[in-house]
Amino acid sequence: MSIKPLLSGMEQRSSRLVASLFAAAALSLAPQVAFSQHEVDTDEGSQGPVKINGNENAFGYSQMAMMAIMQELPDINRYAFEETMELIDAIAMREMVPGDYIMPTAGSGPVLVMAAMAYAAPGKNVVSVEPGYTQLIRTFEKFGGETKLVALNDELEYDLEAVKAAIDENTVMVYLCNPNNPTGTIVDPDELKAFIRDLPDGVVAFVDEAYLELSEGGLEANSMISLVREGEDVILARTFSKVYGMAGLRVGYGVMKPEFKKKLSDFHMGGPNKLGCVAATASLQDPAFFEMSVSSYKSVRKMVTDRLDELGIEYATPHGSFVFMKTGVPIKEFQALMEAENVLVGRPFPPMFDWCRVSIGTEEEMTTFLSVFEEVMKGQGKL
């Protein structure tokens, strides 16, 4: 039996009041949570590892989102109909597309999975790159399709000519992750637009912009959203897990024309929950958090690459929330050496088995990383 029906009207009002008071109290704590999470994680005596393996946001998330969650708590016995509509409206306004172009999901991963399920079929293929993000292509294979993976160029960037050359009469989709995960490199926006406009009929461009807010020039300079607005065959995915710091809440979305949305909807398994919806809507109305997050990422990322330059370590030009660097040590071994010093770094990304992806954490975390990194590299005779 649920507790809610047992509460009288007065009790329900007072539970809402308690939630609001709780929200106010939480808000007074929020600056510590949002801006000094590291102090909580790495206080003297803390045994917690430095977690820079999963591209999570170490700078917290919006206080306005936190307050919206607190205020919504008494109502989570209800479905998220209204809150989903409000989120769709907020996203549509941000992307400058009609509401029926927006598909909110539990993280952006489901957009990738749905697209793969909708387009995969025996004999059909998706073209992408290696190393790259594999969620869409793995699902495409599971559902009977084939994948054609193209190597990156010497700068570890997309080689659009090579991607184009891999497209054949059985290609139904090109998966473009921009910035690419794990390398963090981006594609010149004009070249990418020309490439997409030039795709053969029947080939959909799936553009995954999970980290694009952190690129030089940001969404304004680099997003492919204008092609969606123009009606091109593009499916674009975005997430609240990265720059907005809400990975654990699971909110993301796809932007695409309604005919594509209808095709993907056949595989929809549920949208974001009520707390995720209100938090995401509130995040979009909190430019202060967004700017703090972007500028923190960029300044700590630069601190890391400056040091790598001094050490003479090779890395791909990073435009996301991580840096991909050459250690020269087999990645499994390198992970274990770092973990022994309480620093968790990224997994293997075939075929670059002596490179490592390191997520950007707080300045303190990355200072710790850099000193452990130096020791480990010296121990391996690489410095």
Ligand X SMILES: Cc1ncc(COP(=O)(O)O)c(C=O)c1O
Least distance CB 261 / ligand X (angstroms):
18
Closer to ligand X by Cβ: residue 133 or 315 = 133
Instruction: Choose the stretch contacting ligand X; rule: CB under 6 A; options: 23-31, 96-104, 105-113, 271-279.
Output: 105-113
Answer yes or no whether residue 185 interacts with ligand X by CB under 6 A.
no
What number of chain residues touch ligand X (CB under 6 A)? 13
Answer yes or no whether residue 171 interacts with ligand X by CB under 6 A.
no
Closer to ligand X by Cβ: residue 183 or 335 = 183
Token digits for 354? 């002596």
Q: Residues 194-198: contacts with CB within 8 Å, 24+ apart?
A: 195/160, 195/163, 195/164, 196/224, 196/227, 196/232, 196/234, 197/227, 197/232, 198/164
Closer to ligand X by Cβ: residue 74 or 346 = 346
Instruction: Choose the stretch contacting ligand X; rule: CB under 6 A; options: 197-205, 239-247, 303-311, 329-337.
Output: 239-247
Q: 104 phi and psi, to 5 degrees?
A: -80, 140
Answer yes or no whether residue 109 interacts with ligand X by CB under 6 A.
yes
Least distance CB 251 / ligand X (angstroms):
8
Answer yes or no whether residue 210 interacts with ligand X by CB under 6 A.
yes
Least distance CB 263 / ligand X (angstroms):
20
Strand partners, 356: 325
In a 3-state reduction of DSSP, which class is residue 234?
strand
Least distance CB 135 / ligand X (angstroms):
6
Least distance CB 115 / ligand X (angstroms):
12
Interacting residue with ligand X among 26, 27, 73, 247 (CB under 6 A)? 247
The whole-angstrom separation of Cα 274 and Cα 106 is: 11
Closer to ligand X by Cβ: residue 60 or 107 = 107
Closer to ligand X by Cβ: residue 5 or 270 = 270
Q: Residues 191-198: contacts with CB within 8 Å, 24+ apart?
A: 191/160, 192/160, 192/224, 193/224, 193/226, 193/227, 195/160, 195/163, 195/164, 196/224, 196/227, 196/232, 196/234, 197/227, 197/232, 198/164
Closer to ligand X by Cβ: residue 30 or 251 = 251
Positions 324 through 353 that interact with ligand X (CB under 6 A): none
Nearest alpha-carbon partner for 211 in 233, 241, 170, 253: 241
Instruction: Choose the stretch contacting ligand X; rule: CB under 6 A; options: 19-27, 102-110, 218-226, 280-288.
Output: 102-110
Interacting residue with ligand X among 176, 177, 345, 358 (CB under 6 A)? 177
The whole-angstrom separation of Cα 105 and Cα 344 is: 29
Q: Count CB-CB contacts under 10 A for residue 231.
A: 9
Strand partners, 205: 174, 234
CA dist 191 → 167, 194, 200, 206, 358 (Å): 17, 5, 16, 16, 28
In a 3-state reduction of DSSP, which class is residue 236?
strand
Interacting residue with ligand X among 63, 84, 215, 241 (CB under 6 A)? 241
Closer to ligand X by Cβ: residue 116 or 329 = 116
Answer yes or no whether residue 128 interacts with ligand X by CB under 6 A.
no
CA dist 68 → 1, 21, 143 (Å): 27, 12, 39
Closer to ligand X by Cβ: residue 63 or 181 = 181
Answer yes or no whether residue 187 interacts with ligand X by CB under 6 A.
no
Token digits for 322? 């991580």
Interacting residue with ligand X among 37, 53, 55, 327 (CB under 6 A)? 55
Residue 116 sits at the vertex; the CA angle it makes with 113 and 120, to the nearest 5 degrees, is 150
Answer yes or no whether residue 133 interacts with ligand X by CB under 6 A.
yes
Closer to ligand X by Cβ: residue 228 or 337 = 228
Residues that bind ligand X (CB under 6 A): 55, 107-109, 133, 177, 181, 208, 210, 239, 241, 247, 252
